[in-house]
Amino acid sequence: MDDGSPAPDSPPVVESETKRESGHPFYALSPDDPSYQTFIASLDYLGGEDIARIRDAISYADQAHANQVRFSGEPYVTHPLAVASVVAAWRMDADAVCAALLHDVLEDTGAAKADLAERFNPAIAELVDGLSKLDKIEFSSYREAQAENFRKMLLAMARDLRVVLIKLADRYHNLSTMSAIRPDKRRRIARETLEIYAPIANRLGLNKMFRDLQDTSFCLIHPMRARVLARAVAAYQGNNKELITRIQDNILHKMQEVGVTAQVFGREKSLYSIYIKMVEKHRAFAQIQDIYGFRVILADIPGCYLALGALHALYKPVPGKFKDYIAIPKANGYQSLHTTLIGPTGMPLEVQLRTEEMHHVAQEGVAAHWLYKDAVHSGADLQIRTHKWLHSLLEMQSGDSSEFFENVKIDLFPDDVYVFTPKGLIISLPQGATPVDMAYAIHTDIGNRCLAVRINHELAPLRSELQNGDLVEIITAAHANPNPAWLSYVKTGRARSRIRHFLRTVHNEESAALGEQLLNQELISLGVDPASVPATAWEHLIKASGNHSIKDVFTDIGLGKRLAPVAARRLLADDTVTVPTRSGTLVIRGAEGMAIQLANCCQPIPGDPIIGSIKKGQGLVVHTHDCPVIRKSRKHEPHKWIDVEWEPAPGHLFDVRIAIEVKSARGILGQVASAISNSGSNIENVTMEGDTEKQFNHLHFVIQVSSRSHLAQVMHNLRRIHNVIRINRIHHPEHKA
Return the active site residues.
107-108
The answer to whether the beta carbons of residues 448 and 498 sit under 8 Å apart is yes
Rg (CA), the chain: 34
Query: Quick one: how far is CA 95 from the chain centroid?
Result: 32
680-684 long-range contacts (CB < 8 A, ≥24 apart) are 680/706, 680/710, 681/705, 681/710, 681/714, 682/653, 684/655
- Residue partners of 723: CB distance under 8 A and separation at least 6: 662, 663, 665, 668, 671
Strand positions, DSSP E, 37-154: 68-69
HSE, side-chain direction, 13 A CA sphere, residue 337: 21
Dihedral of CA 527/531/535/539: which sign? positive
**Other Cβ atoms closer than 10 A to 430:** 19
Within 10 A of 634 (CB to CB), how many other CB atoms are there? 15
Distances (CA, A) of 457 to 86, 198, 648: 50, 39, 41
Q: How far apart are CA 354 and CA 145, in angstroms?
A: 42
Q: Give the Cα separation of 711 and 656 in Å (integer).
A: 9
Measured on CA atoms in the order 244, 249, 252, 253, is the torsion positive or negative?
negative
Closest by CA to 7, choosing from 137, 147, 189, 172, is 189
Name residue 119's amino acid.
Answer: R
Q: Are 355 and 301 in contact (CB under 8 A)?
A: yes
Contact yes or no for 326/358 (Cβ under 8 A)? yes
State how far the Cα of 465 lies from the Cα of 429, in Å rounded to an integer.
11
Q: Edge-to-edge, what's the strand order for the sheet holding 348-355?
A: 262-268, 292-298, 348-355, 337-342, 323-324
Please name the amino acid found at residue 258: V
Query: What's phi and psi for 607, nearest 5 deg?
Result: 110, -25
Cα 216–chain centre separation:
25
Instruction: Choose among 220, 226, 224: nearest CA to 175.
Output: 220
Phi, psi of 425 (to 5 degrees): -70, 135
Q: Are 537 and 574 within 8 A, CB to CB?
A: no
Q: Where are the alpha helices (DSSP H) in 546-641?
A: 550-558, 564-572, 631-636
- Per the rule left: phi > 0, alpha: psi between -120 and 50, beta: everything else, 286 is alpha
Cα gap 703→687, rounded to integer Å = 12
- H runs (alpha helix) in 616-679: 631-636, 668-678
Whether the CB-CB separation of 724 and 672 falls below 8 Å is answered with: yes
The letter for the amino acid at 543 is K
Where does 290-423 show beta strands of DSSP type E? Answer: 292-298, 323-324, 337-342, 348-355, 416-420
Task: In whole angstroms, give the CA distance from residue 83 to residue 169.
Answer: 5
Q: For the chain, first and last CA: distance in Å? A: 69
Contacts of 91 (CB under 8 A, 6+ apart): 45, 370, 371
Q: What is the number of residues in the chain?
A: 737
| Residues 6 or more apart in contact with residue 532 via CB below 8 angstroms | none
Rounded CA separation 243/292 (Å): 11
Helices 223-239, 207-221: inter-axial angle, 10-degree rounding: 120
